[in-house]
Amino acid sequence: MSEEVSKNLSETLFANHKQARETSALTQYMPTSESFLEEKQQQDGYKWYRNLRRMQWAWQGLDPIEIEAVLAKIAASKHSRTHDDWLDTVMGYHSGNWTYEWTKLGMLHQKRSHKLKGEAAADEMFNASLCFSIAGYPHLKNDRLATQAQVLASNAYAEASKKTGYIVKRIEVPYQNKKIVAHLHLTSTEKPQPVVMVSAGLDSLQTDLWSLFRDHLAKKNIAMLTVDMPSIGHNVHWNLTEDSSCLHQVVLNELYSIPWVDHHRVGLIGLRFGGNAMVRLSFMEQDKIKACVSLGAPIHDVLSSPAKLKQMPKMYLDVLASRLGKSAVDINSLAGQLMAWSLKVQGILSNRKTRVPILAMSLENDPVSPFSDNQLVALFSDYGKAKKITAKTITQGYEQSLDLAIKWLEDELIR
């Protein structure tokens, strides 16, 4: 895609959305919940609607200085905001608006990519894709600007896939008259490789996971298969239900027909809510999985405690409502409904073990994934292990947990 074409594409995509509704105002709450949220907002005193994942974005390949520059432009905007207290709620698609500023950075990376060759060009294009994805973050269902940003992310990922020396194949698996779209990343197609199926949370796309393959799995010649959670990205047609692993299960059962992977050597990595799905899958399909790693996954604690759920920032509540396909939200009934996602309440972590060795990890003091959740998972897994990551910085925490994860999978998949 030439620079001109991509510029035109983003102009046409966003042209009709100058007045699209701003993300933080999209989710409708019942009056009692509305007043609860307003009160909470004043108490919390947060400056941003979105949870800023600076460390994660830097780890995924973006330059921290560029991240700060984008956030500074958003913060300094003089345009009107939906909530004066939240810096990232600038209305309208123009300077200072979240989607606008991140799309602009994505186009800068695209431009750089066109001037480079080989792996450097690919890396810039993957970074462009990541910026476009962040432009749509947290990817609420009826967010028109986010939907357009996702189209750009998907196109840039496809273009980056052509530029890299690695092999990236788009896999389509039929399910319920639609298709589950996954991406398979390989270092070679000469002989079937062990494969790790990876899934992230409810507010990130499968295209955000490139650095996990390039910097970790590729070095061990392990293939990576990315699948979105139900209700987001390529899997937006399906609402999230308590059967959180249903789409991953369909893809897992399709692996035997993919010639480039060794379906006898399959591992799983789940980040955040993806971890809930992957742990669940490790019980449902224990004969087909060699090892599983969950990182920061909500397993039981937060899902079964309405009080803890209500303490979550509004962005997370909006994301949950969006994934469940709710139109007018009552926080109390949302909190009650989430009990069904607890793997303990489902009876999975209560009476039978899985043969799959699961490594359940989270950073210290993680409100979503306390150590007790990980201990529960380890207890019901043969050779399972719970690990608390205590790192001085969250970046070190990321690196440390990924190194442990890759080692855990390598021991089970390659020996």
- 249-268 mean pLDDT: 96
Please say whether the structural domain 10-30+47-165 has been given the CATH code 1.20.1440.110: yes
pLDDT, tens digit, 9 for 90 and up, residues 3-52: 565 656 666 666 555 567 899 999 999 999 999 999 998 898 899 999 99
User: What rounded mean pLDDT belongs to the chain?
Assistant: 92
pLDDT, tens digit, 9 for 90 and up, residues 314-337: 999 999 999 988 888 999 999 989
Q: What is the pLDDT of residue 389?
A: 87
pTM, to two decimals: 0.93
Question: In sequence order, what are the beta bridge partners of 348?
Answer: none
Q: Domain residue spans in the chain?
A: 10-30+47-165, 166-300+342-414
User: Residue 159: which pLDDT band, with cuts at 50, 70 and 90?
Assistant: very high
User: Quick check: 363 and 395 in contact, CB under 8 A?
Assistant: no
User: Residue 414: which pLDDT band, with cuts at 50, 70 and 90?
Assistant: confident
pLDDT at 285 over 70: yes
Q: What is the pLDDT of residue 55?
A: 84
Q: What is the pLDDT of residue 119?
A: 96
110: amino acid identity, one letter: Q
pLDDT at 367 over 70: yes
Q: What is the CATH number of domain 166-300+342-414?
A: 3.40.50.1820
Task: State the SS3 of the chain.
Answer: CCHHHHHHHHHHHHHCCCCCCCHHHCCEECHHHHHHHHHHHHHHCCCCCCCCCHHHHHHCCCCHHHHHHHHHHHHHCCCCECCCCCCCCECCCCCCCHHHHHHHHHHHHHHHHHHCCHHHHHHHHHHHHHHHHHHHCCCCCCCHHHHHHHHHHHHHHHHHHHHCCCEEEEEEEEECCEEEEEEEEECCCCCCEEEEEEECCCCCCHHHHHHHHHHHHHHHCCEEEEECCCCCHHHCCCCCCCCCCHHHHHHHHHHHHCCCEEEEEEEEEEECHHHHHHHHHHHHCCCCCCEEEEECCCCCCCCCCHHHHHCCCHHHHHHHHHHCCCCEECHHHHHHHHHHHCCCCCCHHHHCCECCCEEEEEECCCCCCCHHHHHHHHHCECCCEEEEECCCCHHHHHHHHHHHHHHHHHHHHCC
pLDDT at 295 over 70: yes
User: Residue 366: which pLDDT band, with cuts at 50, 70 and 90?
Assistant: confident
Q: What is the pLDDT of residue 318?
A: 95
166-300+342-414 shares the fold of 10-30+47-165? no
Rounded to whole angstroms, the Cα distance separating 325 from 305 reads: 21
- 126-155 mean pLDDT: 96
Q: What is the pLDDT of residue 325?
A: 86
Calculate what percentage of the chain has a pLDDT beyond 70: 94
- 243-250 mean pLDDT: 96
pLDDT, tens digit, 9 for 90 and up, residues 193-222: 999 999 999 999 999 999 999 999 999 999
User: Residue 120: which pLDDT band, with cuts at 50, 70 and 90?
Assistant: very high
